Structure 1
């Protein structure tokens, strides 16, 4: 397929809005599925506009990451109310929440490594994939009681789907919009469940509990980064007395913690860069480091049970820079300086 037309992109957004308005949402699975499709389109797809096959196991791994946060007891502000796992279904608790809660009960969630440990559990991935196939995968595109399979052919059975031409491109282009709409709907559904009424107050920041806020403990990555960077800031190369672990592709652009995405930075550079992408010089240095130190980094991540996926991380980076180019955004080039990406040595995709 050639370039995805503006008309198709508008049609995609219209379908997404219709899906959220007319789709039956009795549990949070469909919101999770939309987020998973958007994430996998970023990690596995490209901007050529072609079809993209996605397996139920790949979706299941995303579900485990999303629900591992939510399968923890929610501690209310009122000390008289006991902590409990939030209800995510109109009937009994959503099955994915129950199986993930059971699987992670032997771990301490505070160590920050539980989600990665869960992904190593082949039995858990298989169980969640089975739930995905039975529940949301073939029901997502039912609108007003009728199947309208705009995103992928609704075969009704099987272990994989194939996004139609142009759909993966749109999930990549509108990743932020899909995420915001899905998360807003997810939060609203949980607030509407009467089983959660005693736990939730009007001022609770439910979004931070359900989806995180980018403040995860990144200290396990620090020893490796100190070794690789010789205690120098990745950006300005100054000696580091104090340092901060920085998401090279900012958390605000893609909210997932993968080992190859981290660099060690001084406070000044980390603050100045903020949520901007770094310039071409930094991007090339980051890619070179990940390639040259691939074995060392992989061994460290495995030994410390830290999440990592080099091909996926590179795919996320390509997507982030491509979308910034398409939107004529800016990149940070050091100090307090940012310039338009088309003036920073990049070539359009």
Structure 2
């Protein structure tokens, strides 16, 4: 088994948060390794939005640029999957699927999350295109179109209200959501949001394009886009191997941290969607920078303490 023991920080995940952290740490002359399996959550999307100066940039193009920048400052890249981690020799060993083991003094988990979609045929096929969840990420692209909202939880009413800001033709399909409150019914009625009872059977797709929402009773409703609220679940396997416990909330499960990204496990930070389920690309980028700065400060303090002890012992 090959082992690389020369890193200050191992970053697991090469998305916006992980690569931003890598740039920040490498610019501080830290030795950094980024382990990434190459499966970005936003790969199906045509563009990443609300990224200042780069609005609409294809996600894979953005990440490629980030890798170039990180490598320019000396960060190392491993196109591999981290499968296990443990404490070892004052730091952390991370085993990769390809057989290599990397060692680092600190660990940053930028592992992202998994979108758990309802079991409705058609959702996964069009996810990130005409099936979406975030009005800020993709709302402009469906403005003025016929938007259906798949009801899965009380949050679906809020989602319908958000998309009503962008289109006058919004339909809320009750599907499996609980009955809205009186206040919610009043809001839906006041904004002329149609509510359709019945369970959704599937999305009708023709030539790769969304055409309609089909109920179990066979009724069809023409739509151009469908909004859905998935359950967001952080990729927390490595965190749990180190003894951490993900935090549950109504929208999903995440790795809890302090404002600087420090987790409950000494030496371990988290950034991006693994700790903030609602973080868009720009927010994940900022979180990566903040966590990197905190990690660097922690290493500076440790290095200073080591130098003091070495001087005393000399």
Same fold (TM over 0.5): no
> So what's the TM-score if we normalise by structure 2?
0.25
Give the structure with higher Rg (CA): 2
Q: Which has the higher helix share?
A: 1
